[in-house]
Chains A and B, each alone.
Chain A
Amino acid sequence: MSKFLLLTKREIQERLGQKGFWYMLVLGPLVLLLLLVAILKAADEGKQELKVLIADPGQIMAHRLMAQDEKNIHYYFIDDYLEMQEFEQAKAYQEFDVLLELNEKVLNNKKCFVFYRDQLGLDARMQLKFQVEKRMEELIASQHSTLTEQAFRQIKQGFVFDFRDLQDPKNESKEANAWAGFVIGAFILFFVGLYGMTIFRATVREKNNRIVEVLLASVRPQQLMLSKITGIGLVALLQLLGWAVVLSIGLLFLEQTVFLDVFDPSNWGEAAPQRLNPLSSLVFEQLNLPFLLLHFILFFAASFLFYGSLFAVLGARSSADADGQQFLLPLIFMVAFGIFAGIYAIYYPNTTLTEVLTYLPFSSPVLAFITLAKGATVVGYTTTMLSLLILLGAALLLLKLAGRWYKQHILKF
């Protein structure tokens, strides 16, 4: 076995021999799945179901609020005053969540009180305010003009500006997909950072306990550095694949259990096109996960070589963990820069800066996944592959330079 393979094998064995690796392998994806369930559930349950009792002694609203009933807010009317204490305590009103008090002068003073039992979400507050306001406007309009209610509603109807990309007229590359791609790209940088720190710490430890002097009597410093990056990188990849397997099994399990109703066609009925909430739809239907996984591995490998060599050099440059922390800061800023570049690219996809960031090795993994997740066109895919090649080229160049720096510093105690 070559020395490089021996060193790489040892790195892998050391990491696999650590309990932390196996805990992370199982717990990491489980936490992610739990988070996903929580988010999906939250998205489903985001709209608060409310029963609103409107006390309208002047019968101003004429027992009517909306042309059509809202799905989650149901309105009921009484034509009398209702005291707050009575609403709170009387058995007859316990089924209502909210009391909306309209006095006879409401059209003049434009003030009403809303009493609630449980805290109202922002969405519910906005919905309630919007609907009552709209009804009030109708009533004011009818007092001060000859307009019919229908004519007034037509006047008030807002314009819908539906922005469409000429290259994507059906609006298939949705923003949600872009954000999902951003999360995947950021995940690459997160994992690179996490295992980059492992490279850093392992290098510092080897230097501090002087095993490096024994090793360098047998292998070249560059060989030692590359084997460390490769070994730890393979372990990181192994963990990622493990995560992918556990996550796939978990998603399948969720599909068959927790989200069974949303996947059962018999439950779809007339609401078939909206059978999933946007997040469920994104995770289970819109993202091409195997395609993304393949590119994830490619970008991860290139990014790991790129950043790994920098972490190794910093480790060689440091004489103790604490000493090395200060040198890590610029590197952490670089990782953060990549993530912020992704956010910028989502908001400003067609600027010159975004184009530059697409090819810049620090940010290209995140930007590439934004493109890929949206469903890359031929041009987009070519751009992504070109950015991958640039990242790989930069990684190889950096490895060569880092090898020299590593050699210069590793024996300075």
Chain B
Amino acid sequence: MIKVAQISKSYQRKLVLDNVSLEVPKGQIFGLLGPNGAGKTTLIRMLNQMLRPDAGSIYFDGQLLQASHLQQIGYLPEERGLYKSMGVRAHLLFLAQLRGLTKQDAAQNVDHWLTHFEIQDWQNKRIATLSKGMAQKVQFIAALVHQPQLLILDEPLSGFDPLNVELIMNEIKALKEKGTTIILSTHNMKSVDEICDHAALLHQGKLLAQDAVLHLRQAHAKGRVFVRFKGNMLSFANALWTDFTLLEQKERTEGVFECILQIRGTSTVNDLMRSLQANVEVQHLELLLPSMQEVFVDLITQKETQDV
């Protein structure tokens, strides 16, 4: 859907993006991750054609990104605002028309989304009278009212209460089901674990990693294994020998234990299976993957260690 090819951008001699290349697959949720100042907002602004790269190109559906593509892009900025003096419906109609919809189509879409979010009663309210959460919902609708193919969400969950976070998460998933490609820039790693298919990590203007979320987590797996078995704990411990370290243990029911192990050296999960089978009855065994939070910290730490 989106291909970013060797993009660079500087502000007053400060390199903000340094030869960044990445691809956002169509119909997927793509997590754009990175600490503050990594260059995410700059990249997002380029995707929205607010900024031009100093070098490199951006492609939208195989074509060089141009103004006409903006109608197919929805954008929810991190720091977003609305005209406080306007009514909710009037504001949504205005933004929908700015995105290229006709007045009729805009009205139809606005009514659909107001109904969908069950906020029809707000339509004549002035934005100034809305609570922060209510305004956030209106902003979310504004980003997708023109049914974009690509939806760019910069910290979409900030400012929402837990109930509305759930609502927005479900909505993002539903949009994906309908074929919308979503770029999600967030610091909320739980949401990345939960809904992102792909992710890219930017750090100090450079791309540190980019892959499917599962691959990233697998690549950063620390060799920890979850085991549930029936049998004697002493026999289980004896079976581990020196190749595996017992990190945590818990008796779930009588004679049934759950443990977390750390694989050491060159041992594998198969080695563990073989050792355990002779001593206990293994009910469940799973290689534990790190969360995206851990992957994130891991990658940044590695990079900073290298730099030092």
Contact of B98 among A3, A18, A206 (CB under 8 A): A3
Could you tell me the distance between the alpha carbons of A413 and B49 in the complex, rounded to whole angstroms?
Answer: 18
Asked if residues A218 and B99 are in contact (CB atoms below 8 Å), the reply is yes
List residues of B (56-86) whose CB comes within 8 Å of A's CBs.
70, 73, 75, 77, 79-86
Asked if residues B81 and A209 are in contact (CB atoms below 8 Å), the reply is yes
Asked if residues A213 and B98 are in contact (CB atoms below 8 Å), the reply is no
Asked if residues B70 and A217 are in contact (CB atoms below 8 Å), the reply is yes
The verdict on A10 contacting B80 (CB below 8 Å), with A217-B50, A218-B70 known, is no
Asked if residues B84 and A6 are in contact (CB atoms below 8 Å), the reply is no
Interface string of A178-210 (1 = CB under 8 A from B): 000000000000000000000000000010111
Asked if residues B70 and A213 are in contact (CB atoms below 8 Å), the reply is no
- Is A112 positioned at the interface, with any CB of B under 8 Å from its CB? no
- Is A215 positioned at the interface, with any CB of B under 8 Å from its CB? yes
Q: Which residues of B contact A218 (CB under 8 A)?
A: 70, 95, 98-99
- Is B142 positioned at the interface, with any CB of A under 8 Å from its CB? yes
Asked if residues A214 and B50 are in contact (CB atoms below 8 Å), the reply is no
Could you tell me the distance between the alpha carbons of A219 and B49 in the complex, rounded to whole angstroms?
Answer: 9
Could you tell me the distance between the alpha carbons of A14 and B85 in the complex, rounded to whole angstroms?
Answer: 7
The verdict on A209 contacting B75 (CB below 8 Å), with A1-B97, A216-B48 known, is no
Asked if residues A214 and B97 are in contact (CB atoms below 8 Å), the reply is no
Q: Which residue from chain A places its CB closest to the CB of B76 in the assembled complex?
A: A214
- Is A17 positioned at the interface, with any CB of B under 8 Å from its CB? yes
Asked if residues B48 and A209 are in contact (CB atoms below 8 Å), the reply is no
- Is B222 positioned at the interface, with any CB of A under 8 Å from its CB? no
Q: Which residues of B contact A211 (CB under 8 A)?
A: 80-83
Closest Cβ–Cβ distance, residue A400 to chain B (whole Å): 18
- Is B94 positioned at the interface, with any CB of A under 8 Å from its CB? yes
- Is A411 positioned at the interface, with any CB of B under 8 Å from its CB? yes
Contact of B77 among A6, A7, A10, A213 (CB under 8 A): A213
Asked if residues B82 and A209 are in contact (CB atoms below 8 Å), the reply is yes
Closest Cβ–Cβ distance, residue A206 to chain B (whole Å): 8
Closest Cβ–Cβ distance, residue A331 to chain B (whole Å): 25
Closest Cβ–Cβ distance, residue B74 to chain A (whole Å): 8
Q: Which residues of A contact B80 (CB under 8 A)?
A: 210-211, 213-214
Asked if residues B95 and A214 are in contact (CB atoms below 8 Å), the reply is yes
- Is B206 positioned at the interface, with any CB of A under 8 Å from its CB? no
Asked if residues B98 and A219 are in contact (CB atoms below 8 Å), the reply is yes
Q: Which residues of B contact A413 (CB under 8 A)?
A: 79
Contact of A214 among B51, B75, B85 (CB under 8 A): B75
- Is B103 positioned at the interface, with any CB of A under 8 Å from its CB? yes
Could you tell me the distance between the alpha carbons of A18 and B83 in the complex, rounded to whole angstroms?
Answer: 14
Q: Which residues of B contact A7 (CB under 8 A)?
A: 98
Asked if residues A411 and B94 are in contact (CB atoms below 8 Å), the reply is no
Contact of A217 among B48, B84, B139 (CB under 8 A): B48
Q: Which residue from chain B places its CB closest to the CB of A5 in the assembled complex?
A: B97
List residues of B (77-128) whose CB comes within 8 Å of A's CBs.
77, 79-86, 94-95, 97-99, 103
Asked if residues B50 and A210 are in contact (CB atoms below 8 Å), the reply is no
Asked if residues A214 and B142 are in contact (CB atoms below 8 Å), the reply is yes
The verdict on A6 contacting B94 (CB below 8 Å), with A214-B142, A217-B50 known, is yes
Q: Which residues of A contact B85 (CB under 8 A)?
A: 14, 17-18
Contact of A411 among B45, B49, B82, B95 (CB under 8 A): B45
Closest Cβ–Cβ distance, residue B71 to chain A (whole Å): 9
Asked if residues B48 and A210 are in contact (CB atoms below 8 Å), the reply is no
Interface string of A382-399 (1 = CB under 8 A from B): 000000000000000000
Closest Cβ–Cβ distance, residue A13 to chain B (whole Å): 8
Contact of A210 among B45, B73, B77, B99 (CB under 8 A): B77
Could you tell me the distance between the alpha carbons of A157 and B83 in the complex, rounded to whole angstroms?
Answer: 74
Q: Which residue from chain B places its CB closest to the CB of A407 in the assembled complex?
A: B50
Could you tell me the distance between the alpha carbons of A213 and B51 in the complex, rounded to whole angstroms?
Answer: 12
Q: Which residue from chain B places its CB closest to the CB of A9 in the assembled complex?
A: B94
Q: Which residues of A contact B86 (CB under 8 A)?
A: 10, 14
Q: Which residues of A contact B79 (CB under 8 A)?
A: 210, 213, 413
Closest Cβ–Cβ distance, residue B8 to chain A (whole Å): 18
Q: Which residue from chain B places its CB closest to the CB of A15 in the assembled complex?
A: B85
Could you tell me the distance between the alpha carbons of A218 and B48 in the complex, rounded to whole angstroms?
Answer: 8
Could you tell me the distance between the alpha carbons of A1 and B105 in the complex, rounded to whole angstroms?
Answer: 13
Closest Cβ–Cβ distance, residue B256 to chain A (whole Å): 55
Q: Which residues of B contact A3 (CB under 8 A)?
A: 98
Could you tell me the distance between the alpha carbons of A212 and B45 in the complex, rounded to whole angstroms?
Answer: 12
Q: Which residues of A contact B49 (CB under 8 A)?
A: 217
Closest Cβ–Cβ distance, residue B296 to chain A (whole Å): 25
Could you tell me the distance between the alpha carbons of A206 and B82 in the complex, rounded to whole angstroms?
Answer: 9
Closest Cβ–Cβ distance, residue B152 to chain A (whole Å): 9
Q: Which residues of A contact B51 (CB under 8 A)?
A: 411
Interface string of A207-248 (1 = CB under 8 A from B): 011111111111100000000000000000000000000000
Q: Which residues of B contact A213 (CB under 8 A)?
A: 50, 77, 79-81
Could you tell me the distance between the alpha carbons of A18 and B45 in the complex, rounded to whole angstroms?
Answer: 33
Asked if residues B97 and A216 are in contact (CB atoms below 8 Å), the reply is no
The verdict on A1 contacting B103 (CB below 8 Å), with A209-B81, A209-B82, A219-B98 known, is yes
Q: Which residues of B contact A208 (CB under 8 A)?
A: 81
List residues of A (300-328) whose CB comes within 8 Å of B's CBs.
none
Could you tell me the distance between the alpha carbons of A213 and B76 in the complex, rounded to whole angstroms?
Answer: 9
Interface string of A46-76 (1 = CB under 8 A from B): 0000000000000000000000000000000
Q: Which residue from chain A places its CB closest to the CB of B77 in the assembled complex?
A: A213
Q: Which residues of A contact B48 (CB under 8 A)?
A: 216-217
Q: Which residues of B contact A214 (CB under 8 A)?
A: 75, 77, 80-82, 95, 139, 142
Q: Which residues of A contact B82 (CB under 8 A)?
A: 209, 211, 214
Q: Which residues of A contact B81 (CB under 8 A)?
A: 206, 208-214
Could you tell me the distance between the alpha carbons of A217 and B151 in the complex, rounded to whole angstroms?
Answer: 12
Q: Which residues of B contact A209 (CB under 8 A)?
A: 81-82, 84
Given known contacts A209-B84, A214-B80, what 11 new A-B pairs fall within 8 Å (CB)? Answer: A7-B98, A209-B81, A212-B81, A214-B82, A214-B139, A216-B50, A217-B49, A217-B75, A218-B95, A411-B51, A413-B79
Residues of A in contact with B (beta carbons under 8 Å apart) = 1, 3, 6-7, 10, 14, 17-18, 206, 208-219, 411, 413
Q: 5 tightest A-B contacts by CB? A: A209-B81, A211-B81, A210-B81, A218-B98, A213-B77
**Listed A/B pairs (30) with beta-carbon separation below 8 Å:** A1-B97, A1-B103, A6-B94, A6-B98, A10-B83, A10-B86, A10-B94, A14-B85, A18-B85, A208-B81, A209-B82, A210-B79, A210-B80, A211-B80, A211-B81, A211-B82, A213-B50, A213-B79, A213-B80, A214-B75, A214-B77, A214-B81, A214-B82, A214-B139, A214-B142, A217-B48, A217-B73, A218-B98, A219-B98, A411-B45
